[in-house]
Amino acid sequence: MFKLLFLSLLSTASIAGEVFDEFPLKIEPDKKYVFYSHGLIVEGTDPRPVNSNWGIYEFPQIKQILSDQEYNLIAYHRPKNTNPTEFATKLASDVKLLLQKGVSAKNITLIGFSRGGAITILTSNLLANKELSFVILAGCGRYLKNEPELKLHGHIYSMFETSDNVGSCQFLIDRSNNVTSFIEKTISTGKSHGAFYRPLPEWTIPVKAWIKLNRT
């Protein structure tokens, strides 16, 4: 079933919504906007870097599969040694600009994997908006337990791989009193952290389905 849906996603890529690697010059207030923040290994100039344990990080393919005709996807390629807090501040500014241009908060979603997940959490903490949506993919590392001031806000969808050492975001939810909704799912591919290095249907299909839900 997953394979059939995955092939369907590939076949509709030609009619998918636009993918931006920079903040779009023209904002359409009636559209949905999704930000995707990649993992640490992609920082730099290579969009397909290789990890000795987990293989190639298929950043271009992930963007292609995450794109959809129902929303515009913004996926920055961060430079090497990006400061997470500074980049989270940039993302927060981008979201505020979308809001100023008339985009509804319920139509804005931020996705982040690993280091990108941490950046997404930092951004949620900065915005403190309970109507925004956030997807955290294997992003709740142990270091967050030592940063009690960081909290999530809004609609939260968490996913992690059962063979990975980065697990549940429940501890973060437990200390966050401005979470509107929370769903957490697991996948079991046996690929550890590398499960999110490629646009596997196990995670892309449910994530896209959740993004396209109508928020109230």
Domain boundaries, given as residue ranges, for the chain: 2-211
Q: pLDDT by residue for the chain (216 residues), tens digit each?
A: 444 444 444 444 434 479 999 999 999 999 999 999 999 999 999 999 999 999 999 999 999 999 999 999 999 999 999 999 999 999 999 999 999 999 999 999 999 999 999 999 999 999 999 999 999 999 998 888 888 899 999 999 999 999 999 999 999 999 999 999 999 999 999 999 999 999 999 999 999 999 999 886
CA 92 to chain centroid, in Å, comes to 14
pLDDT tens string 77-101: 999 999 999 999 999 999 999 999 9
CA 52 to chain centroid, in Å, comes to 24
Q: Name the class of domain 2-211.
A: alpha beta
Start-to-end Cα distance in the chain: 30
Spatial distance between the Cα atoms of 65 and 201, rounded to a whole number of angstroms? 9
- 25 contacts: CB under 8 Å, gap ≥ 6: none
- Diameter of the chain measured on Cα atoms: 45
